[in-house]
Chains A and B, each alone.
Chain A
Amino acid sequence: MLTRRTFVTGASAGALWSFAGRGAIAAAGSARELAGPHFDLTVDYLPVNYTGSARNAVAINGQVPAPTLRMRQGDEVSIRVTNRLREQTSIHWHGFIVPADMDGVPGLSFNGIPPGATFTYRFKVNQSGTYWYHSHSRFQEQVGLYGAIVVERRGGERHRADREHVLLLSDWTDHDPERIYATLKKQSNYYNFHKLTAREHLALPPAERRMWSSMRMDPTDLADVGGYAYTYLLNGVTPAANWNAAFTPGERVRLRIINGSSMSFFDLRIPGLELTVVAADGQDIEPVTVDELRIGTAEVYDLIVEPRDAAYSIFAQAMDRSGFARGTLAPRAGMTADVPALDKPALLSMADMGMHHEGMVMTDHAPLNHAPAENGPIVDMRASMAMPRLDDPGVGLRDNGRRVLTYADLATLGGPIDARDAAREIELHLTGHMERYIWSFNGQKFSDAEPLRFSHGERLRVTLVNDTMMTHPIHLHGMWSEIVDPRGAFRVRKHTVIVQPAQRLSYLVTADALGSWAYHCHLLYHMEAGMFREVQVG
């Protein structure tokens, strides 16, 4: 009998791979590396066992995570992908600026890779930094088809390190993802085992109790799927198996952190170490030192740490505190450090719900305009107030006694890719219905919406307003999202933008990429349920 504890933390060790790094940097990860510019990838089923139950993953070259692809800025790469599955597959190069037919989204970029077929992706790598790749077909990403990409910067890294490790976080499940999605459609709070009990509900302040009652929502709703179904992995290794990596005391160690999960946000810290964040989504930033950071689904951060002669736990707790991924950094094999306890799950506040606090002083902000479809039956709430709040670390991280990274801390070096101001603005509201489990933009599911049209060459402002109670990672394919502060000044260039409940956030986009592109919430089941748009640049 498997106890709940072993299920969450994983009972058996995943395979550990090690390899010698190339060049001057000693690199190690649990996924074997492949060096470019020519790559051969084979997608196939792989028997795995993370929790004591045998399951089939979808892997590349027999590995979960898929091998780390190491490229050099300026490389003309070719990546041959052979599909040995019984179903179509595809690979999307997340954060890569590539021609639309190389972007890997079946139905928009190309026709997908049928069973038995080989497709060769070819593109020039103009950018550098940490990225990742994953399947864009059905739920293959949930069952293992994700891997890291490291692009070495021409002329060497801006923020130098003596050693580096890729830390790829993911959420493995023994459940069939089709079943998870169907279950969410049948009972959307199925996976939440932190719900308020009747007594806890009564203990809320009366105004909050009335609000939750009238909204028909639960303040504990921080993740649609949690530790009941997920075992959180670090580089494909369960917390129990404890992925570990070496360093020599005194070294500057670069950690390339990728959230390759399907549905999970992680709050990561390494107790005892300050984390100097040097890049966000592959883009070098002005270094900023924190104790903890939240990494949304599909986001990427590069950190530099300077460990002393001791072991350290890498601790990444899921946002709903239903589990964690964990690993160890140590100068010698066999050393371990204490693993922190999970924090208490937080409750969403009235401000998260875009509601006015009683007695709150109203500042000058424009009232929100909601699209007509937002008044339709598939939208359960509309914020009455949304603020930029770039300096808000998010629910569960506020005032926790640690320095937590916020978007206000991020400043991409070198400024925006395009100095023009936006000539027009598109406002999109993130909408949904939690109980019915329907997700959308502006109250329209993908199947009901027309594509968004960008004019080739234009610089436009996209303003996102989150009308839901969930935090969404929004990913625009093919073009950068350059976040601006409330005064319109450039802050940070990202491929995936977290939008918190009742947040209003703007970024500028240069529509220099001809073709059809995917634009969606990177929570896999939100995308499936309709939170997806096609963007046509032409």
Chain B
Amino acid sequence: MKRLAFLLFAAMQCARAQDAGESEHVAPDPPQSRVHAMPYHEMADMMGMDDRRNFGKFMLDRFEWQEASGDGRLEWDATAWYGGDYDKLWFESEGERGNGTTQDSRTELAWDRILSPWWNLRLGARHDGGIGPSRDWAAFGVAGLTPGFFDVEARVYLGENARTALRLSAHRDYLLSQRLVLQPEAELSAYGKDDPERLIGTGLSDVKVGLRLRYEIRRELAPYLGVRWVGHFGDSADYRKAAGDVAHEWLWLAGIRAWY
């Protein structure tokens, strides 16, 4: 009935249009063939269009030589991810090498899940290497972009023998020009239990504050110069001093940032 009414209406329209000599519109014929019903992945393949595709990124955020009172060391901080808009596999590696050995390293593997427009959840595992016995942790964290464009991360770790740890970090880019970028950063670590073999004491163990000035030759490649202050506190500072190290120091640094 509805269709009949429409056909009647269409015929009237047509006649009216011819009277006016204006409207050229003619409804198209029904299709002679239809595409068979198919699941999303098959359709995406046929359409050559897929909003669920996975991507991967490797980011060497810091690869730098640090120099403090004649003593030099290499530090790196790399991230890699692979996945879609909602879920990603997240990998991080950070550490320092000096005197021919890896002094300290942190490796994390996590499931990164979109939580809200500006926050992601990261659940995974962390492995600490370098000097001293290695440590393994379960990691629970969030990462996000706050108002004011601060990239922040907060993570809580649970290890063997009831060890706990907290790690907070933040950085922000200030554009001095379209290619010259000043990046302040800060990082804080705290532990719930003494770990003298790794020179870690209970409470706030260390704070790092840095300022890096990079020049983006292209977006993916930027050499930089910077300065960093590293301070150890409480028992962590005492363990370091006992080991012949300093509790806090200023570092000059030069490095390269690259991603793909």
Mark A residues whose CB is within 8 Å of B: 73, 87-88, 97-102, 105-112, 123-124, 126-128, 136-138, 182, 185-187, 190, 193-199, 213-216, 377-380, 413-415, 417-420, 433, 435-436, 438, 445-447, 455-457, 478, 480, 510, 512-516, 527-530, 532
Contact = CB atoms under 8 A, between A and B. Distances in A.
Given A195-B178, A377-B115, A436 B85 contact: yes
Contacts of B32: 99, 101
B134 interface: no
B31 A101 contact: yes
Contacts of B246: none
B116 to A, nearest CB: 5
Given A97-B28, A435-B145, A456-B3, A529 B51 contact: yes
A438 B38 CA distance: 24
A412 to B, nearest CB: 9
A185 B17 CA distance: 49
A378 B114 contact: yes
Given A380-B117, A446-B51, A128 B24 contact: yes
A527 B44 CA distance: 12
Interface in B45-66: 46-52, 55, 57
Which 8 A-B pairs give the minimum distances between C-beta atoms?
Answer: A414-B22, A457-B6, A138-B48, A512-B27, A530-B51, A101-B31, A107-B47, A417-B25
A106 B25 contact: no
A97 B25 CA distance: 8
A126 B145 contact: no
Per DSSP, chain B at the interface is loop
Given A446-B51, A457-B6, A107 B85 contact: no
A110 B30 contact: no
A445 B49 CA distance: 12
B10 interface: yes
B35 A379 contact: no
A187 to B, nearest CB: 6
A515 B31 CA distance: 7
B22 A413 contact: yes
A195 B48 contact: no
A107 B43 contact: yes
6 contacts: A99-B28, A185-B55, A199-B176, A216-B149, A415-B20, A446-B51
A433 B35 contact: no
A126 B24 contact: yes
Interface in B148-201: 148-149, 174-178, 182
B257 to A, nearest CB: 12
A417 B23 contact: yes
Contacts of B178: 193-195, 197
Contact of A108 (B20, B30, B35): B35
Interface in B120-170: 145, 147-149
Contacts of A378: 85, 114, 117
Interface of B: 2-3, 5-6, 9-10, 13, 16-17, 20, 22-35, 38, 40, 43-44, 46-52, 55, 57, 85-86, 114-118, 145, 147-149, 174-178, 182, 219, 259
Contacts of B9: 420, 457
A376 to B, nearest CB: 8
A478 B86 CA distance: 33
Contact of B35 (A88, A110, A514): A110
B101 to A, nearest CB: 34
Contact of B26 (A126, A190, A457, A478): A126
Contact of A106 (B20, B26, B46, B148): B46
Given A377-B114, A456-B3, A456-B6, A99 B30 contact: yes
Contacts of B51: 438, 445-447, 528-530, 532
B20 A414 contact: yes
A2 to B, nearest CB: 14
Per DSSP, chain A at the interface is loop
Contact of B85 (A126, A438, A456, A514): A438
Contacts of A415: 20, 22-23
Given A101-B31, A513-B28, A379 B55 contact: no
A516 B174 CA distance: 48
Contacts of B38: 107
A449 B175 CA distance: 39
B2 A457 contact: yes
Contacts of B48: 87-88, 106, 112, 137-138
B28 A98 contact: yes
A484 to B, nearest CB: 17
Contacts of A512: 10, 27-28
Contacts of A87: 48
Contacts of A478: 28
Contacts of B47: 105-108, 136-137
Given A107-B44, A126-B26, A138-B48, 9 more contacts: A126-B25, A196-B175, A213-B147, A447-B51, A456-B6, A457-B6, A512-B28, A515-B34, A528-B50
A90 to B, nearest CB: 8
Nearest to B173: A198
A111 B35 contact: yes
A457 B3 contact: yes
Given A99-B28, A216-B145, A514-B31, A447 B46 contact: no
B212 to A, nearest CB: 15
B94 to A, nearest CB: 20
A528 B175 contact: no
A379 B117 contact: yes
Nearest to A520: B49
Contacts of A513: 27-28
Nearest to B51: A530
A533 B17 CA distance: 32
A532 B27 contact: no
A195 B118 CA distance: 21
A452 to B, nearest CB: 16
A88 B3 CA distance: 37
Nearest to A446: B51
Nearest to B24: A127
B174 A198 contact: yes
B50 to A, nearest CB: 8
A515 B57 CA distance: 40
